Structure 1
Amino acid sequence: MSATLRDVAAAAGVHAATASRALNPETLGMVNPATAKRVREAAERLGYVPNPIARSLKTNRTLSLGAVVPDITNPLFAPIIRGIEDVAVAAGYNVLIANTDNEPDRERDQVASLRARQVDGLILATARIEDPVISTLIADKVPIVLVNRVEPDLPIFSVAGDDASGIRQALRHLHELGHRRIAHIAGPSSTSTGVVRRRTFQLEIGELGLAAEDCPIVEAASYQIEDGAGCLRTVLDEHPGVTAVLAANDLLAIGCYEVLAERGLSCPADLSVVGFNDIPFVDKVWPPLTTVHVRHYDFGAEAARLVLEQLRDPAISPKSVLLSVSLVVRGSTAAPPDR
């Protein structure tokens, strides 16, 4: 017969309630460290395994969180999920991951499925501006955190990077190298990241005294490599004087590499390329990609902490966390060919 909580408590010389608190990451802080250590050692010695079903019946919680991402194959979401899991698991929670393929109907169904499983809170990494799912969750008072976007007009917790700062840093880097004809491959206008980065690009070229006609903007249909390639073809065909491209994410930038290769052009000798996000392996492509580093692991970790805060105190006021970003200069940028 497997050991029970009462067996652990008796072996540690404490009350069963104390043993329960010592073995629950959420209440561990309520127990004297020496006592908690004694309880843990007794549990290990007896081979005690907590019963999550019994705990959920007692606390009216499932000790699980839902994480919803638009494209699980996109490398930027791996560190976000890792950050969520590290914080959640340390607090005694499991994480259920759902992929939406950035489709509204699938997102609605996946969120409904997670709610049917009675997850205690949700973390949404979706970026679509018009998202009725979010309004429904707020109305239903579901503990929720948005990742990689900020909604200043909604009473909701969120974690995002400083996209505006990232675009400014990238543009100023190119300007300091001598570039005056800089194209922007923008993200979809249906996404918050696409809108913010595009708007900042437009404002910053004005601040730098660059002519709008010399700094074209081509919008990608999605944040995928093939769309980056298609946009650069448009730039090269319609704006042959461009000497640098600032892409709204790294996958769009990698698409630019493909087009340069097919047209016999060199990066950065013929065209400098800058990405955004610093996803894994962009330092391994050739040339290594200059990009804006975004702290995606911290996105996930902070989002999980915010959900747990809401579970501990449902009356807590919503807040937005804006994390700093930094430009990482690598081999894909250099002075323009006419310098």
Structure 2
Amino acid sequence: MPEQPVRAKLVDVAHAAGVSKATVSKVLNGRQDLSVRPETRRRVHEAAEALGYRPHSGARALAGASTHALALLVPALANPTYVTIARGAYQRARELGYLSLLAEDFDGQEADESFHDLVQEGRVDGLLIASARPGHPLLDALSRSAVPHVFLNRSVEGSGRNVTMDVARSSVMALDHLHGLGHRVVGHIAGPHGITPSEVRKEAFLRHAGVLGLEAAPVASGDFTEDGGGSAARELLRPADGRGPVTALYTSSLAQAIGAMAAIRELGLRIPQDISVVGNDDLPVAGHLHPPLTTVAMPLYELGTAAVDALVGGIEGRPVGDVVVPTEPGLVLRASTARPAGAEAGTGAETRTGAGTGTGTGGTP
């Protein structure tokens, strides 16, 4: 069979005409308010004709029509946390008459351009951004754009459009549980440096450890992956001067917890007899690990729905502001936590259950 011709893209026309993609989009859609010379307009039209460029059918949105589609940008589809967020966003969008699309922010790709093009070419009405890491080029692009958008799970300070959860509460719940069992040296496996929810979780962990008077609260950072959790666990479980041995670990994600549990076994230790483990996810697989994993469940489904509510409100002209999902985290007790050998359970630190909304919960890396 003969090869199918490659359809020309907006960027191809821009390169051929020597102008920006935004200029091409506006020229081809008849925007008369664009200050460009007639020669430039002619060059754009000639380049489009030579390349056989056909604007996407959604480009009518530039003239004021709505596509009733939203786009959700996540840092990693391999992370089940974002699948749960996406489910909440998709179902709420449907209820409001919108379609929610999903895009992955691969490292090294020009996500700011490709994602911004979804709006510039009229394919979506607004953006749900869950990958707003510090220094992301998309942040600069959005600061100079009128594109409707909200940030979720990873907030942007001062943006006034963050949709978040009570991340600090998750650390308090995990530490209260472990302290109540009698653990006095608890280690925390944080996420990568600079990731907002990870920093908030770590700061809350250290602050509450001080309130509880724990002997030590060492922290090690790692990626939100099994390897990241394993390497951080090995670091925390090494003997250290000035403190007793770590008897419990609290991780920032389910993947980290799985890696930490593997590392504990590699070191010849038992769970929970020697080391208790609490993960910051509650996905179905947590109950099928060996032993089943105690977790702090976060309202991720509700996070997805709240983000869509905020974005659609902005698209429809209502004020956009910071939103905190009112649903609190919940502790799901399983067999990976127990009283440390030789210790008496503490008093005044009751454990709580109550995770889940029946719609799916998970962690918040």
Mean CA deviation greater in 60-69 or 121-130: 121-130
Change (3 A) 1:140 1:186: same
SS in structure 1 of the partner of residue 112 of structure 2: helix
Kept after mapping to 1: 8 A contact 2:132/2:155: no
After superposition, residues 1-339 of structure 1 pair within 5 angstroms as 60-101=65-106, 103=107, 105-118=109-122, 119-156=124-161, 158-211=162-215, 214-220=216-222, 222-239=223-240, 241-313=245-317, 316-323=319-326, 324-339=328-343
Residue by residue over 1:117-163, the C-alpha shift from the partner in whole angstroms, topping out at 9 and shown as x without a partner, is: 4210000111523334234324312211111133342222x222211
Q: Which amino acid aligns with 1:61?
A: S
Q: Which amino acid aligns with 1:237?
A: R
Equivalent pairs counted in the alignment come to 282
Whole-Å separation in 1 of the counterparts to 2:61 and 2:138 = 26
Mean CA deviation greater in 302-311 or 52-61: 52-61
SS in structure 2 of the partner of residue 277 of structure 1: coil
Whole-Å separation in 2 of the counterparts to 1:321 and 1:175 = 28
For residue 319 of structure 1, report the CA deviation from its aligned partner.
2.6
Q: Where do 5+ consecutive residues of structure 2 fail to align?
A: 1-56, 344-365
Q: Which amino acid aligns with 1:231?
A: A
Change (3 A) 1:327 1:135: farther
The structure whose residues are more often helix, as a share, is 1
Change (3 A) 1:321 1:215: closer
Q: Which amino acid aligns with 1:155?
A: G
Q: Where do 5+ consecutive residues of structure 1 fail to align?
A: 1-51
SS in structure 2 of the partner of residue 330 of structure 1: coil
Kept after mapping to 2: 8 A contact 1:130/1:190: no
For residue 91 of structure 1, report the CA deviation from its aligned partner.
2.5
Residue by residue over 1:221-277, the C-alpha shift from the partner in whole angstroms, topping out at 9 and shown as x without a partner, is: x11111100111112224471100011121111111111222232111110001112
Change (3 A) 1:325 1:110: farther
- TM-score of the superposed pair, with normalisation by structure 1: 0.77
Residue by residue over 1:48-93, the C-alpha shift from the partner in whole angstroms, topping out at 9 and shown as x without a partner, is: xxxx969969851222111100000111111111111112123232
For residue 165 of structure 1, report the CA deviation from its aligned partner.
0.7
**How high is the sequence identity, in percent, across the aligned residues?**
33
Whole-Å separation in 2 of the counterparts to 1:193 and 1:104 = 23
SS in structure 1 of the partner of residue 238 of structure 2: helix
SS in structure 1 of the partner of residue 288 of structure 2: coil
Kept after mapping to 1: 8 A contact 2:186/2:247: yes
Residue by residue over 1:210-229, the C-alpha shift from the partner in whole angstroms, topping out at 9 and shown as x without a partner, is: 23xx3211111x11111100
For residue 107 of structure 1, report the CA deviation from its aligned partner.
2.9
Q: Which amino acid aligns with 2:333?
A: V
SS in structure 2 of the partner of residue 274 of structure 1: strand
Kept after mapping to 2: 8 A contact 1:56/1:63: no
Kept after mapping to 2: 8 A contact 1:243/1:337: no
Q: Which runs of 4+ in 1 moved over 4 A?
A: 52-59
- Residue matched to 1:22: none
Whole-Å separation in 1 of the counterparts to 2:213 and 2:97 = 54
Residue by residue over 1:165-198, the C-alpha shift from the partner in whole angstroms, topping out at 9 and shown as x without a partner, is: 1101100110010000111111111200111111
- Superposition RMSD on alpha carbons, in Å? 2.2
Q: Which amino acid aligns with 1:321?
A: V
Kept after mapping to 1: 8 A contact 2:69/2:100: yes
For residue 100 of structure 1, report the CA deviation from its aligned partner.
1.0
